[in-house]
């Protein structure tokens, strides 16, 4: 049996009349990089607040490596956190903040921290007051990665980083995975999630819509097919899962959901000269979930 | 094109400023008008008979009385008596509030980045500052008008009422303008607030020395408190000092507006160095960090409280001697809540009771800062560490309580130093006993603030001040209007023995300390169980 880093059972949070999270059941296995997606207001940050014990669930419970999430003194020995909006004590310098977070956190690998400071190009002599959003995020990221904690909970950690720094972030996540750590990554940067995550959960209006590996998600979603042909156009009208996008002289572009067999049989009837199938990007999958339907 | 009418960016900003300031402005106006009206209404009962009025005139001759309470003028009238009893307190209230509100509304909003949005619109920094100053001016002017109206309604002469109310409003405005200047110079709200409060403190000291020492009477021309004494409402009704006031306020506001246009947004004229070597002391644990954050504010509060009680000590001999010679004043003072002023011990005990208010305010300010840090998200990374919430709040409360103990000790030592200088013969142990005696009341303030952190984190400042400032006002009012005994006994001050003149009320102190600890525990219990605000 693989141990789970996070286990949420029927986790529910209600703020007055607003149901922010509705019976979330979720398991994140130890050692995986887990992406957590959803539009604004879907309940991602609420979930993280419940996992960290910053808010108390209305119903259900969550466990961090078999420790109740509400027992923060024990659970937080096993995790490090990067909030979406990093607020720091304005009068402390970067070096002082890293010292404070190292002293109050679950531990620190000072050698690795020095390495991360250099890689993220962080000026530690400046007071936090003078830091930009990205620099504040770097301080929190360096502090979190340097703990080498078994679980890293990262809430939109790269929203303020430039592409070079984002590359460093991906590298640090890969190192954490290689090191056996679990990463729980909530993000809007779908390319980033696609690049680093083993599995992805998709949340909508407080409910879990899907949990799958990125390749599985692709299989479940529409691919875009372009067929070139000579002679009469193939008839795809009756084929299930096909949605015609564009039709020009000698070219047919359509989206395809589900197994490709019926569509290929229909195409075989025509004289196809070229066929390209493009898998959907995570962004297209994401838009599929939220784009057309009411959030 | 369906763009909304682009006519009035200024008016929108004015409305925003008014929304941010209206509630505290109403509270300050209510206290100002209420206190003044109460004193005027109860004047006849307190000092109504002519013999007493005649005796009161002798007060003017005593430098100690003048230093502490201001120069008594026209005490034989209800208006003059109200000015003497409430004038300094209300001036301090209006100026302090004006300074805090101004730095919060200007530098605070700018530091938080919210002015970036406003300044991306069509308004210039100077126009934005001007709109905020206009709203604060309106708040002060309205308070003044209400006060003048109330004093006139209660039968005091209109000229005096208008002069007194105008003076108070102008004092408040001077503080607002000074704070606006400081907000242009300092890049942080804390720096601007500290500088303005220091300006007000020096002003108060100048007024006290100018009142007490006739050779230095010119010091009373220094804003923002001295000119109030020079205007002599209900007596000579002099407007000239207030004119100086108005010119000062206008000049300060003008300087602030010019400076606002000549600096970068979010920067001040003072530019702190962009980098510095790390100072790693007191970062090793949550407890140590709580102490580190308390050290600078504690130094500021210690300076203020130490200076005031040094002065109290220096005046001990002169004041007690005067009251022993004029027993009528001892009676009057007793009716006003200051009993036993005739001996050094009694005098010290009475003034130490006042100490609970600033010490309680320190505790409230620390816990309000803790709640503000939670709201701003600065505590989030500490909460994400393996530290229980109980310990996080307990560390803050323990650091705060230790700070109150330091403040009480500072007051005792300063008083002792003052009395020793003038040879009033107060042993250090007696001064310490008297100061420590009020610690339970301050602890009640810290406990109320802790409970508020757990239950109502937005209201820490108000709830935290209830036992100390609220209790003091309740006692003074219930004494003044002869309310039923149980009303007065709700105030913790009613159970405070006059240490060092008498033995401590151990039972009451025990009850207060136990109650404070119980309330703190309840606050912690509630804090652990609620969602954090982020």
CB contact under 8 A, B381 and A99: no
**Higher-pLDDT residue of A169, B328:** A169
- For B30, residues 6+ apart whose C-beta sits below 8 A from its C-beta are none
| A124 part of contact set with chain B, CB < 8 Å | yes
Query: In chain A, what residues touch B383 (CB-CB under 8 Å)?
Result: 52, 54, 72
Looking at residue B60, its pLDDT comes to 62
Interface of B with A in 362-381 (CB under 8 A): 373, 376-378, 380-381
Average pLDDT, chain B: 89
Partners of A202 in the β-ladder? A37, A210
Residue among B511, B504, B379 nearest B435 (CA): B504
**Higher-pLDDT residue of B526, A249:** B526
Pairing of strands A33-37, A59-64: unpaired
pLDDT tens per residue across span B447-484: 999 999 999 999 999 899 999 989 988 887 787 677 78
Query: Which range is least confidently modeled, A184-188, B149-153, B343-347?
Result: B343-347
DSSP classification of residue B466: I
| A93 part of contact set with chain B, CB < 8 Å | yes
CB contact under 8 A, B272 and A127: yes
DSSP classification of residue B23: H
Residue B504 lies in a domain: yes
Looking at residue B9, its pLDDT comes to 82
Chain A's closest residue to B531, CA to CA, is A55
CB contact under 8 A, A125 and B278: yes
Query: Distance between CA A256 and CA A276 in Å, rounded?
Result: 12
What average pLDDT score do residues B234-245 get? Answer: 90
DSSP classification of residue B533: P
| B534 part of contact set with chain A, CB < 8 Å | yes
Query: Distance between CA B467 and CA B524 in Å, rounded?
Result: 19
| A95 part of contact set with chain B, CB < 8 Å | yes
CA distance, residue A245 to nearest chain B CA (Å): 34
CB contact under 8 A, B275 and A80: no
CB contact under 8 A, B383 and A79: no
| B284 part of contact set with chain A, CB < 8 Å | yes
Task: Please report how many Cα atoms fall inside a 13 Å half-sphere around the Cα of residue A22, on the Cβ side.
Answer: 12
CB contact under 8 A, A73 and B383: no
Pairing of strands A223-230, A251-256: antiparallel
In whole angstroms, what separates CA B502 from the centre of its chain?
29
CA distance, residue A201 to nearest chain B CA (Å): 23
| B388 part of contact set with chain A, CB < 8 Å | yes
Task: Provide the 10 A C-beta neighbour count for residue B70.
Answer: 22
Query: Distance between CA B507 and CA B510 in Å, rounded?
Result: 5
Residue B11 lies in a domain: no
| A140 part of contact set with chain B, CB < 8 Å | yes
Looking at the structure, tell me whether residues B208 and B347 fall in a common domain: no
Looking at the structure, tell me whether residues B258 and B358 fall in a common domain: no
Residue among A55, A82, A61 nearest A7 (CA): A61
CB contact under 8 A, A103 and B285: yes
Pairing of strands A182-186, A151-155: parallel
Query: Distance between CA B275 and CA A93 in Å, rounded?
Result: 8
- The answer to whether B27 and B93 are in contact (CB under 8 A) is no
Looking at the structure, tell me whether residues B458 and B499 fall in a common domain: yes
Query: In chain A, what residues touch B279 (CB-CB under 8 Å)?
Result: 96
| A77 part of contact set with chain B, CB < 8 Å | yes
Task: Please report how many Cα atoms fall inside a 13 Å half-sphere around the Cα of residue A63, on the Cβ side.
Answer: 11
Residue B275 lies in a domain: no
Beta strands in chain A (DSSP E): 4-15, 18-29, 33-37, 59-64, 67-68, 79-82, 151-155, 182-186, 199-204, 207-213, 223-230, 242-248, 251-256, 271-278
| B23 part of contact set with chain A, CB < 8 Å | no
Query: In chain A, what residues touch B274 (CB-CB under 8 Å)?
Result: 126, 130
Looking at the structure, tell me whether residues B205 and B331 fall in a common domain: no
CB contact under 8 A, B275 and A143: no
Torsion of CA B409, B286, B388, B405, to 10 degrees: 0
How many structural domains is chain B composed of?
2
Residue B2 lies in a domain: no
Looking at the structure, tell me whether residues B447 and B308 fall in a common domain: yes
Query: Distance between CA A82 and CA B438 in Å, rounded?
Result: 44
Interface of B with A in 243-262 (CB under 8 A): none
Query: Distance between CA A185 and CA A169 in Å, rounded?
Result: 12
Residue B336 pLDDT exceeds 70: no
Residue B417 pLDDT exceeds 60: yes
Residue B123 lies in a domain: yes
- The answer to whether B306 and B317 are in contact (CB under 8 A) is no
Instruction: Give the end of a domain, one of B233, B268, B303.
Output: B268
In whole angstroms, what separates CA A50 from the centre of its chain?
17
Task: Please report how many Cα atoms fall inside a 13 Å half-sphere around the Cα of residue A20, on the Cβ side.
Answer: 19
Pairing of strands A79-82, A151-155: parallel
Looking at the structure, tell me whether residues B264 and B293 fall in a common domain: no
| Contacts across the A-B interface (CB distance below 8 Å) | 99
Query: In chain B, what residues touch A93 (CB-CB under 8 Å)?
Result: 275-276, 278
Looking at the structure, tell me whether residues B180 and B318 fall in a common domain: no
Residue B47 lies in a domain: yes
Instruction: Give the end of a domain, one of B245, B268, B291.
Output: B268
pLDDT tens per residue across span B507-521: 999 999 999 999 999
Residue B12 lies in a domain: no
Looking at residue A280, its pLDDT comes to 76
* Length of chain A (residues): 295
Looking at the structure, tell me whether residues B237 and B147 fall in a common domain: yes
Looking at the structure, tell me whether residues B216 and B322 fall in a common domain: no
Residue among A49, A73, A204 nearest A57 (CA): A49
Question: What is the SS3 assignment for B66-116?
Answer: HHHHCCCCCCCCHHHHHHHHHHHHHHHHHHHHHHHHHHHHHHHHHHCCHHH
| B507 part of contact set with chain A, CB < 8 Å | no
Residue B42 lies in a domain: yes
Q: For an interface test with A, which of B112, B286, B385, B457 has the most A Cβ atoms less than 10 Å from its Cβ?
A: B385
Q: Is B8 exposed, middle or buried (0-12, 13-18, 19+ CB in 10 A)?
A: exposed
| B389 part of contact set with chain A, CB < 8 Å | yes
Partners of A274 in the β-ladder? A228
CB contact under 8 A, A55 and B532: yes
Query: Distance between CA B152 and CA B78 in Å, rounded?
Result: 11
Looking at the structure, tell me whether residues B368 and B338 fall in a common domain: yes
Looking at the structure, tell me whether residues B303 and B405 fall in a common domain: yes
CB contact under 8 A, B272 and A81: no
Domains and CATH numbers, chain A: 4-217 (3.40.50.300), 222-279 (3.30.70)
What percentage of chain B has pLDDT greater than the value 90?
61
Looking at residue B10, its pLDDT comes to 85
Chain A's closest residue to B273, CA to CA, is A126
Query: Distance between CA B283 and CA A96 in Å, rounded?
Result: 7
CB contact under 8 A, B278 and A93: yes
Residue among B110, B109, B99 nearest B196 (CA): B99
Which two tokens mark B188? Answer: 């942080």
Looking at the structure, tell me whether residues B328 and B455 fall in a common domain: yes
In whole angstroms, what separates CA A157 from the centre of its chain?
10
- The answer to whether A81 and A153 are in contact (CB under 8 A) is yes
- The answer to whether B295 and B401 are in contact (CB under 8 A) is no
CA distance, residue A169 to nearest chain B CA (Å): 19
Beta-sheet strand order (sheet of A251-256): A242-248, A251-256, A223-230, A271-278
- Cα-based distances in Å from B395 to A97, B79, B98, B366: 19, 49, 32, 12
CA distance, residue A130 to nearest chain B CA (Å): 7
Which two tokens mark B283? Answer: 């970062």
Instruction: Give the end of a domain, one of B236, B268, B300.
Output: B268
CB contact under 8 A, A87 and B378: yes
- Segment holding B44, helix H or strand E: helix B43-47
pLDDT tens per residue across span B212-238: 777 888 888 988 999 998 999 998 889
Which two tokens mark B215? Answer: 């050779």
Which residue matches tokens 């096993």? A78
Chain A's closest residue to B187, CA to CA, is A129
φ/ψ region of B485 (left if φ > 0, alpha if ψ in -120 to 50, else beta) reads alpha
Query: In chain A, what residues touch B380 (CB-CB under 8 Å)?
Result: 54, 81, 83, 87
Query: Distance between CA B28 and CA B98 in Å, rounded?
Result: 10
Could you list the pLDDT tens digit for every one of the 295 residues in chain A? 468 999 999 999 999 899 999 999 999 999 999 999 888 888 999 999 999 999 999 999 999 999 999 999 999 999 999 999 999 999 999 999 999 999 999 999 999 999 999 999 999 999 998 899 999 999 999 999 999 999 999 999 988 899 999 999 999 999 999 999 999 999 887 788 888 999 999 898 889 988 988 878 777 677 888 989 888 888 888 888 888 888 888 888 888 887 888 888 888 888 888 988 887 777 777 777 776 544 4
| A85 part of contact set with chain B, CB < 8 Å | yes
B61 — pLDDT class (breaks 50, 70, 90): low
Q: Which domain holds residue B319?
A: 281-534
Looking at residue A64, its pLDDT comes to 96
Query: Distance between CA A78 and CA B482 in Å, rounded?
Result: 63
CB contact under 8 A, B531 and A54: yes
CB contact under 8 A, B377 and A124: no
Query: Distance between CA B63 and CA B82 in Å, rounded?
Result: 20
First CA to last CA distance, chain A: 37
């Amino acid at each position: 049996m693989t141990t789970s880093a996070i286990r949420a059972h029927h986790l529910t949070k209600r703020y007055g009349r607003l149901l922010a999270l509705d019976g979330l059941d979720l398991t994140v296995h130890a050692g995986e990089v887990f992406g957590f997606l959803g539009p604004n207001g879907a309940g991602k940050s609420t979930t993280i607040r419940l996992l960290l014990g910053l808010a108390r669930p209305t119903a259900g419970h969550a466990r961090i490596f078999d420790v109740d999430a509400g027992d923060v003194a024990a659970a937080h020995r096993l995790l490090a956190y990067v909030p979406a909006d990093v607020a720091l004590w304005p009068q402390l310098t970067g070096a002082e903040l890293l010292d404070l977070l190292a002293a109050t956190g679950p531990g620190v690998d000072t050698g690795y921290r020095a390495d991360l400071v250099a890689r993220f190009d962080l000026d530690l002599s400046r007071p936090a007051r003078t830091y930009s959003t990205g620099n504040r995020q770097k301080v929190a990221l360096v502090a979190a990665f340097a703990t080498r904690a078994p679980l890293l909970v990262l809430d939109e950690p790269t929203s303020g980083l430039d592409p070079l720094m984002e590359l460093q972030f991906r590298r640090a996540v890969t190192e954490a995975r290689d090191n056996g750590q679990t990463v729980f990554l909530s993000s809007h940067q779908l390319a980033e999630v696609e690049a680093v995550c083993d599995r992805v959960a998709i949340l909508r209006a407080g409910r879990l819509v899907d949990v799958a590996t990125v390749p599985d998600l692709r299989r479940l979603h529409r691919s875009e097919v372009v067929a070139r042909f000579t002679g009469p156009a193939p008839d795809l009208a009756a084929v299930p899962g096909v949605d015609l996008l564009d039709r020009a002289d000698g070219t047919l572009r359509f989206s395809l959901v589900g197994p490709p067999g019926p569509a290929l049989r229909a195409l075989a009837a025509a004289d196809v000269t070229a066929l390209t199938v493009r898998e959907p990007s995570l962004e297209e999958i994401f838009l599929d979930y939220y784009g057309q339907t009411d959030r | 094109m369906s763009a909304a009418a682009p006519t009035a960016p200024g008016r929108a900003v004015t409305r925003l400023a008014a929304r941010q300031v209206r509630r505290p402005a109403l509270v300050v106006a209510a206290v100002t008008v209420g206190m003044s009206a109460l004193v005027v209404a109860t004047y006849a009962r307190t000092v109504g008979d002519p013999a007493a009025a005649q005796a009161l005139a002798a007060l003017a001759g005593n430098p100690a009385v003048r230093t502490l309470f201001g120069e008594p003028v026209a005490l034989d009238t209800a208006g003059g008596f109200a000015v003497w009893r409430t004038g300094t307190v209300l001036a301090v209230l209006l100026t302090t509030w004006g300074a805090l509100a101004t730095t919060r509304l200007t530098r605070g909003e700018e530091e938080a980045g919210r002015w970036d949005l406003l300044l991306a619109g069509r308004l210039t920094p100077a126009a934005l500052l001007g709109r905020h100053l206009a709203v604060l001016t309106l708040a002060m002017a309205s308070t003044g008008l209400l006060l003048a109206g109330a004093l006139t309604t209660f039968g005091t002469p209109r000229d005096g009422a208008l002069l007194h109310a105008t003076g108070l409003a102008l004092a408040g405005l001077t503080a607002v303008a000074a704070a606006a200047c400081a907000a242009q110079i300092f890049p942080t709200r804390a720096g601007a607030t500290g500088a303005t409060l220091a300006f007000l403190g020096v002003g108060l000291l100048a007024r006290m020395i100018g009142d007490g020492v006739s050779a230095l009477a010119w010091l009373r021309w220094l804003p923002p408190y001295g000119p109030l004494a020079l205007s002599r409402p209900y007596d000579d009704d002099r407007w000239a000092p207030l004119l100086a006031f108005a010119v000062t306020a206008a000049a300060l506001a003008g300087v602030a507006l010019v400076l606002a246009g000549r600096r970068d947004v979010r920067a001040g004229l003072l530019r702190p160095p962009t980098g510095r070597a790390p100072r790693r002391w007191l970062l090793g644990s949550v407890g140590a960090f709580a102490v580190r954050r308390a050290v600078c504010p504690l130094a500021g509060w210690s300076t203020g409280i130490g200076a005031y009680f040094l002065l109290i000590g220096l005046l001990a001999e002169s004041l007690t001697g005067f009251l022993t010679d004029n027993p009528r004043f001892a009676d009057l003072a007793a009716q006003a809540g200051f009993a036993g002023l005739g001996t050094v011990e009694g005098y010290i005990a009475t003034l130490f009771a006042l100490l609970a208010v600033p010490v309680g305010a320190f505790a409230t300010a620390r816990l309000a800062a803790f709640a503000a840090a939670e709201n701003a998200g600065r505590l989030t990374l500490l909460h994400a560490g393996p530290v229980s919430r109980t310990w996080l709040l307990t560390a803050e409360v323990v650091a705060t309580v230790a700070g109150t103990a330091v403040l009480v000790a500072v007051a005792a030592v300063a008083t002792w130093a003052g009395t020793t200088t003038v040879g009033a013969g107060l042993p250090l142990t007696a001064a310490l006993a008297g100061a420590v005696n009020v610690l339970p009341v301050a602890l009640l303030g810290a406990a109320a603030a802790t409970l508020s952190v757990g239950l109502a984190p937005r209201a820490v400042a108000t709830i935290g001040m209830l036992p100390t400032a609220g209790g003091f006002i309740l006692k003074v009012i219930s004494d003044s209007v002869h309310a039923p005994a149980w009303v007065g006994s709700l105030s913790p001050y009613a159970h405070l023995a006059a240490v060092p003149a008498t033995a401590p009320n151990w039972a009451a102190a025990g009850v207060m300390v136990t109650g404070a600890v119980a309330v703190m525990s309840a606050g912690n219990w509630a804090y652990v169980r609620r969602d954090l605000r982020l």
